[in-house]
Amino acid sequence: MSRQARPQIKIGVLLPQFTGDANDLVDGARRAEAAGLDSVWVFDHLWPLGARKDAPILEAWTSLAFVAAATERVSIGTLVTRSSLRHPVVLAKMAATLGAIAPGRLIVGIGSGDSKSRRENDAFGLPYWEPPDGLAQLASTVGLLRDYLHRDEISIEDPFSSVSALRPSPRPEPPPAVWVGGSGSSPGLMRLAGEAADGYNAWAVSPDRFGTAVAIVTEAAGGRTIEMTWAGEVVLGSDDADARRRLGNRDPARYIAGSPAVVAEALGAYVRAGAGHLILSLPTPAEPGLYELLAAEVVPVLRAGFARYPPGV
């Protein structure tokens, strides 16, 4: 299978967002940047799905503005912002504004969510579209977002948005990248990423399924360069015993877990399948030393492996 040119593997982390203290979030971003990681990310939920509905969680976009002001180099992004949580034009304005605040650093990861998302939308009085309308609404939002970031004037009329002769502002340079993301099971989502976005993110899929996604997205891109990215849950320990302790009662099937060598080997399979950017969700991201361990003992192995498996291998 052919591969697009990839200059160097990038490694990012999801920040401590399930907290009522924004200082935890910013401290994580600063530590990730100081450790030499490439990107920091937030989920986009209004409540923490799967947990107590009254548990604390920081809102994604306002959190990223705080992170942008507290850091200098790392890319910042949403993984992923759900297209039904905000009006598409308001979302585009937010992306343009944050892109102007942090030039060249913002990545707008966007998706439609899944069946579990409906309860969240209902709780906050927001519309929710069942398949296949959910994919159509996402495609409309991606198109509007891209137009807002790249055109001098936009107009759109469809079942989801109505805008006439709107002149976007601000105009960040370069425009923020837009990634389409999901669980990796929808060919329609993959084709949308290839046809309309700058990147594709697959959440928690196997290396084989990721390789299939690479093929579908690349074909849909028709020669355009698309950044292929993977994200998933990782339990990193100083050794295997430490990783087992950290895993605790969590379902081991959901996680890549082990020593730095074990984690690097598992993540390397995604690099070989075509990933150019890996984003890790660590269950205790606020723990001191965790990002540093990742940067010191996992990232160099992945980058060396990336060099051994150039495009086309």
pLDDT in tens, 9-48: 999 999 999 888 899 999 999 999 999 999 999 999 998 8
pLDDT band at 312 (very low <50, low <70, confident <90, very high): very low
pLDDT band at 54 (very low <50, low <70, confident <90, very high): confident
Structure tokens at 68: 């942008």
Does pLDDT of 3 surpass 60? no
Percent of the chain with pLDDT over 90: 82
Question: According to the model, what pLDDT value does residue 5 have?
Answer: 47
Does pLDDT of 2 surpass 70? no
Question: According to the model, what pLDDT value does residue 313 have?
Answer: 41
Beta strands in the chain (DSSP E): 10-14, 39-42, 75-82, 106-111, 154-157, 162-166, 177-182, 199-203, 227-236, 255-258, 277-281
pLDDT band at 52 (very low <50, low <70, confident <90, very high): low
Does pLDDT of 283 surpass 80? yes
Model pLDDT for residues 159-203, shown as the tens digit of each residue: 999 999 999 999 999 999 999 999 877 999 999 999 999 999 999
Across 239-266, average pLDDT? 95
Does pLDDT of 6 surpass 60? no
Pairwise CA distance, residues 77 & 87, whole Å: 19
Higher pLDDT among residues 182 and 285, named by residue: 182
Question: According to the model, what pLDDT value does residue 308 have?
Answer: 66
How confident is the prediction for the chain on average, in pLDDT?
A: 93
Q: Are the C-beta atoms of residues 143 and 106 closer than 8 Å to each other?
A: no
* Domain 10-308 belongs in CATH node 3.20.20.30: yes
CA atoms in the 13 A half-sphere facing the CB of 177: 23
Question: According to the model, what pLDDT value does residue 50 have?
Answer: 64
Structure tokens at 42: 């937030």
Question: According to the model, what pLDDT value does residue 309 have?
Answer: 57
Does pLDDT of 108 surpass 90? yes
Pairwise CA distance, residues 41 & 308, whole Å: 28
31-37 long-range contacts, Cβ below 8 Å, gap at least 24? Answer: 31/288, 31/291, 31/292, 32/74, 32/291, 33/71, 33/72, 33/73, 33/74, 35/291, 35/292, 35/294, 35/295, 35/296, 36/295, 36/299, 37/11, 37/12, 37/13, 37/74, 37/291, 37/294, 37/295, 37/299
Query: How many helical (H) and strand (E) elements, i.e. helices and strands, does the chain have?
Result: 11, 11
Residue among 100, 25, 118 at smallest CA distance from 66: 25
pLDDT band at 114 (very low <50, low <70, confident <90, very high): confident
